[in-house]
Structure 1
Amino acid sequence: MMKQLLSFPAKFTGDYSTFFTVIALTLLISATIGDKNGATEEEIESMISSLRSNGYDLFATAIASSYLRFHILSGGSYTLFSPPDFALRSLHESSHASVYLQTLHYHVAPRRLACSNLRNRSALFVGPYLDTLLPRRSLLVVNGTVLDDIMVDGVRVSVPDLYLGANIAVHGLDGIFVVAGKLGFASPVNAMKKQRKHHGKPRHGHLESGEALTVTVDGGYQI
């Protein structure tokens, strides 16, 4: 791409401001997309280290030990939204394993977006909804000015740009994206509140399901 830009005719007579704006946008999009070959093991390890050093140990462990690691290594660029430990621990203790895996996939978008990209999505032709690795499930991104918080699916991004690599961006969250209710499951958080109200403490075990997803061997889903 740079070779093509350098070979631009010297006698260009058009609008230079427009030309250089196009160049800037092209470079910005290229930087956002990252390497077409995808993330490396070194980038994965660096991301996991950053998560742990910022107190997001459970999400780091989940990425390191699940199919998501191999999915990220297979190619493309990604944005990960990391829930805090207490939220993942609560989910793990109160829901079925399949819901836990679905929730992890729901926290990964198949495109690298730094905090600046989330604030100015129009420059990258990105709408208010981000696709995720969970089939047919997307995240709603809402933000105002540069000084305002970014809200994703109603959860505040508390640590923007927790990690920025060539193909991976990670943002720390204040809470967790609840996929359970959208799939017909009872929300683990709401279920625990009801159990505390009626029994004094949460009851561990499986949640009753409606429309369930079957996790396949390769980490995909069947509805």
Structure 2
Amino acid sequence: MTSSPLEDVPFAVEVTETERVFEGRVWDIRRDTFDYNGSSIVREYTDHTGAVAVLALDDEDRVLLIRQYRHPVGLREWELPAGLLDVEGEDPLVAVQRELEEEADLRATEWDVLAEFATSPGGNNEVIRVYLARGLSATEQAFERTEEEADIEVAWVPLDDALDAVLARRVQNPSLVIGVLAAHASRARDWSTLSPADSPWDRHPKLRQTP
């Protein structure tokens, strides 16, 4: 072990060829050829926009959860409100505030960065930032929802109960699991692990600041 902090760091390789081999409705499949350790390597991966999620916590330490159908896994699963970063140039904080309104009819006065993670770094470039939202209030009117969101269920769950569900493996959505674990740990540290809501997101491959 070294004395430096334990952290992931960006690492640039020379991409000698890249092509989109499948164009989907939401995300694509990309094939890259790059040089690494003296070899030419080909990798195919899901080229993803990235996403944001929000753990909304009320004054009673209850988490807002929504349940909706997810076709790839065949489940109506409990989740945090979340959405894709699929609006060109939209700031992630603006995107997550919009998602909280659209999926839960809520606004918040206090926003912080709670957690960040890559969903499957060996197979896609999707990264998700989870925000903590407090100071909640209802929007003036309910958002009209369609498709899988048309029958969203909403529940306010004590953070400790949500943690129990995670540890008992009764819920599996990654943003929910990571968000609840991070919130429970951060609360125990008097929320000292939080970062400002507008913090740069340098580990997002499409938002990374380059010298």
Asked if these proteins are the same fold (TM beyond 0.5), I'd say no
Which structure shows the bigger proportion of residues in helix conformation?
1
TM-score by length of 2: 0.23
Name the structure with the higher strand share. 2
